[in-house]
Amino acid sequence: MIAELLFGTAFGLLLLGIHRKVIARIQRRPGPPVWQEILHMLKFSFKTTWVPATASAVLFVGVVLVAIGIWTAALFVVLSGESLLIIFGIYMLHKIVEHGFGLSSGSPYGKFGGVRSVISAASEIPLFVSIAGIALFTHSLMISDIVAYQEVHGPLLLTVPLAGLAMYLVVLSKMPFGPFSIVESKELVSGYKTEHFGVWRAGLEVCNGLKTYVLLTTFLLVFVGNMPFLLLLAGMLVLTVSLSFACALCPMLSPYDSVTVQTIVAGLMLAYVSVLVVVS
Amino acid sequence: MNEIGGVPLFFLEFGDIVTYFSPFTLTLFLLALVFTVFVVVSRPERQIDIAFGADAFFAKEISLPELRFRRFMAIACGLACMGAMVTGDVFDFTLFVSLVGICNVGIVAAVRTYHVRDAAYQYGLVALAGTVPLFSAAAMVAATTGTLSMLELASPAAPPVPLIARALLVLGVMGEGMAPFYAAKAEMFRAPGAPYVIMCSLSSLLIFLRVTEVVLLL
């Protein structure tokens, strides 16, 4: 488990580095090296660290541990083929982590990053709809059952493509520099993570790496099915590059537009699942 | 679909009321517990704000009586949340959810800022209205099936729960703090006192996640 955890973190950070590189090349900039996010994590681990005088100290430090804890649990859930609903829950609870990061420091930049995170809760509804669409066909929410279903019936991406698209949008909403990345936009400095530096930021980088790895793995297992490990990694790379294209070509939306677009998508997905329910 | 949240790990019986821990409910329970511990042991942050009309800023302080009241309400909210996460009884679930709504209002009602109080008042009205469909759903489940036990209702032999009862349950939970009424809390979320305010958003998300499982189970 420790080996998977370390590999997941490192590979997730590498994917985030590739994400930054691809965005930069599309925008005709040289961009950072692909291992930049790993270097960031290592660099922050050895930087001077303290807690701001205005912060709620326990919460300021505690949310970092919670962030790493929930995504470690998520990795364990994916590897053991447990319920998809737990991944859904952890994904939603990441909002609380962002809110905690932002509010605990007392900084107005962090505060508004945290508030933006909570008001964009509509981005989770497509995930719920996606799960409902899957459950209609597989009659189970266990990842192991969903994988087994696809071995018999073929990839769910072909059976319920719009549910796959909904999940893709959910992953996109969590990618940095994307159209929905309002929680860390530059008018808020770094948004909810502005005041977390040193070891706390290193912890956040670990969380981001794990989160990326878990979400991409979940997407591939749930919509494409089981595959050899190297092919899984290649699939994650292809997904990351496609997400990078979306992030590079779409401007960051204003908070109002971001919530509106996510709400419209959620409404369309609800209609789609309603049609699926009626048809089935 | 009886193992939506994973295979139950163990059952805790209180007479005919059964509390159960599945990987899903246990995860949610532990998160509620962790954040309740944060509320107990942490002090609030001092929020920095801009002084309009001057090149200055100031730190908002929370007075001791306000801190004590809000901490009490946040702990009560955490306990109600933990109850809602693991209960195996529909009526208990609705009771815990309504308690979460009351505590959420209490957490922010003590803040001496007009906008925050106004938001708390409006949210209180929505939460109050939300209790009607919430308890109606529990009553309908009891009337149509003769039981309120989720485990009995989840068994294939149990009489089907009417769709309207499930819809009312979701509507009631939405009233107690889920989207879209959740957005009414935006002013509440920026109130000072991070450990307590976070309990508002955490409880909303947790009850949303749990009601998803409950509706799929019934």
Average pLDDT over residues B175-196: 65
Mutate to test the interface with B, among A66, A78, A83, A259 (most CBs of B within 10 A): A83
Among B183, B51, B106, smallest CA distance to A115 is for B183
Q: Which two tokens stand for residue B197?
A: 């305010």
Domains of chain B: which residue ranges? Answer: 10-217
Across the interface, whether the CB atoms of B38 and A121 are under 8 A apart is answered no
**What pLDDT is stored for residue A23 in this prediction?**
92
Q: What is the pLDDT of residues A5-33, one digit of tens each?
A: 889 899 999 999 999 999 999 988 998 99
Using the Cβ of B195 and the Cβ atoms of chain A, whether some distance falls under 8 Å is answered with yes
Range of the domain at A233: 2-279
Q: How many domains does the structure of chain A reveal? A: 1
Nearest-CB residue to A58 (from B1, B42, B182): B42
Cα B111 to its chain centre, rounded Å, is 20
- Confirm if B108 and B191 have CB atoms less than 8 A apart: yes
Residue of B nearest to A128 (CA): B212
Dist. CA A1–CA A234, nearest whole Å: 22
Residue of B nearest to A65 (CA): B34
Q: What is the pLDDT of residues A233-275, one digit of tens each?
A: 999 999 999 999 988 888 888 878 887 887 788 788 778 877 8
What residues of B are in contact with residue A139 (Cβ under 8 Å)? 1
Strands B17-21 and B10-14, how do they pair?
Answer: antiparallel
Residue with the two structure tokens 């489940």: B141
Across the interface, whether the CB atoms of B24 and A122 are under 8 A apart is answered no
Q: How far is B148 from chain A (nearest CA, A)?
A: 23
What residues of A are in contact with residue B197 (Cβ under 8 Å)? 103
Q: How far is A241 from chain B (nearest CA, A)?
A: 31
**What pLDDT is stored for residue A80 in this prediction?**
86
Q: What is the dihedral of CA A254, A257, A260, A262, to 10 degrees?
A: -70
Dist. CA B196–CA B66, nearest whole Å: 11
Q: How far is A223 from chain B (nearest CA, A)?
A: 19
**What pLDDT is stored for residue B183 in this prediction?**
54
Helix axes B64-86, B23-41, angle to 10 degrees: 170
Across the interface, whether the CB atoms of A93 and B47 are under 8 A apart is answered no
Angle at the Cα of A146 from the Cα atoms of A245 and A174, rounded to 5 degrees: 30
Dist. CA A228–CA A237, nearest whole Å: 14
Across the interface, whether the CB atoms of B49 and A108 are under 8 A apart is answered yes
Dist. CA A133–CA A274, nearest whole Å: 9
Residue with the two structure tokens 């591939």: A220
Among B43, B78, B59, B120, smallest CA distance to B206 is for B78
What are residue B17's phi and psi, to 5 degrees? -95, 120
Burial of A105 (0-12, 13-18, 19+ CB in 10 A): buried
Q: Which two tokens stand for residue B217?
A: 């189970």
Side chain identity, residue A171: V
Largest CA distance in chain A: 60
Average pLDDT over residues B96-121: 82
Dist. CA A103–CA A50, nearest whole Å: 17
Write out B130-155 in H/E/C secondary structure. HHHHHHHHHHHHHHHHCCCEHHHHHC
Residue with the two structure tokens 């899984």: A232
Largest CA distance in chain B: 70
Residue of B nearest to A119 (CA): B183
What are the residues facing B21 on neighbouring strands?
A: B10
Across the interface, whether the CB atoms of B42 and A59 are under 8 A apart is answered yes
Nearest-CB residue to B179 (from A100, A122, A142): A122
Nearest-CB residue to A56 (from B43, B190, B208): B43
Dist. CA A243–CA A173, nearest whole Å: 10
Q: What is the pLDDT of residues B10-57, one digit of tens each?
A: 887 777 778 888 888 888 899 899 999 988 888 887 777 777 777 777
Q: How far is B65 from chain A (nearest CA, A)?
A: 18
Dist. CA A103–CA B109, nearest whole Å: 18
Across the interface, whether the CB atoms of A82 and B48 are under 8 A apart is answered no
Q: Across all residues in chain B, what is the average pLDDT?
A: 81
Nearest-CB residue to B194 (from A90, A100, A119): A100
Confidence of residue B180 (pLDDT cuts 50, 70, 90): very low
The string of DSSP letters for A20-37 reads: HHHHHHHTT-----TTHH
**What pLDDT is stored for residue B105 in this prediction?**
83
Q: How far is B178 from chain A (nearest CA, A)?
A: 9
Q: Which two tokens stand for residue A56?
A: 């709620």
3-state DSSP call for residue A51? coil
Of A155-164, A228-237, B160-169, B176-185, least confident by mean pLDDT is B176-185
Q: Which residues of chain A have pLDDT under 50?
A: none
Q: How far is B114 from chain A (nearest CA, A)?
A: 18
Confidence of residue B188 (pLDDT cuts 50, 70, 90): low
Mutate to test the interface with B, among A71, A80, A96 (most CBs of B within 10 A): A96
Nearest-CB residue to B24 (from A89, A100, A106): A89
Dist. CA A220–CA A239, nearest whole Å: 9
**What pLDDT is stored for residue B126 in this prediction?**
84
Among B125, B129, B78, B133, smallest CA distance to B105 is for B125
Percentages helix, strand, coil for chain B, rounded to the nearest 5? 65, 10, 25
Q: How many CB atoms lie within 10 A of CB B48?
A: 19
Dist. CA A240–CA A38, nearest whole Å: 16
Average pLDDT over residues B170-176: 83
Share of chain B above pLDDT 70, in %: 91
Across the interface, whether the CB atoms of B186 and A115 are under 8 A apart is answered yes
Across the interface, whether the CB atoms of B45 and A85 are under 8 A apart is answered no
Higher pLDDT, B106 or A127: B106
* Residue A207, H or E segment: helix A199-223
- Confirm if A91 and A73 have CB atoms less than 8 A apart: no
Across the interface, whether the CB atoms of B6 and A86 are under 8 A apart is answered yes
- Confirm if B218 and B3 have CB atoms less than 8 A apart: no
Dist. CA A181–CA A176, nearest whole Å: 6
CA dist B82 → A61, B21, B76, B100, B213 (Å): 23, 11, 10, 10, 15
Dist. CA A165–CA A174, nearest whole Å: 14
Dist. CA B175–CA A12, nearest whole Å: 38
What residues of A are in contact with residue B50 (Cβ under 8 Å)? 108
Dist. CA B61–CA A112, nearest whole Å: 19
Residue of A nearest to B188 (CA): A115
Most confident of the following: A179-193, B79-93, B181-195 = B79-93
pTM of this structure: 0.85
What residues of B are in contact with residue A121 (Cβ under 8 Å)? 179, 182, 205
Residue of A nearest to B208 (CA): A89
* Res. B1: pLDDT tops 50: no
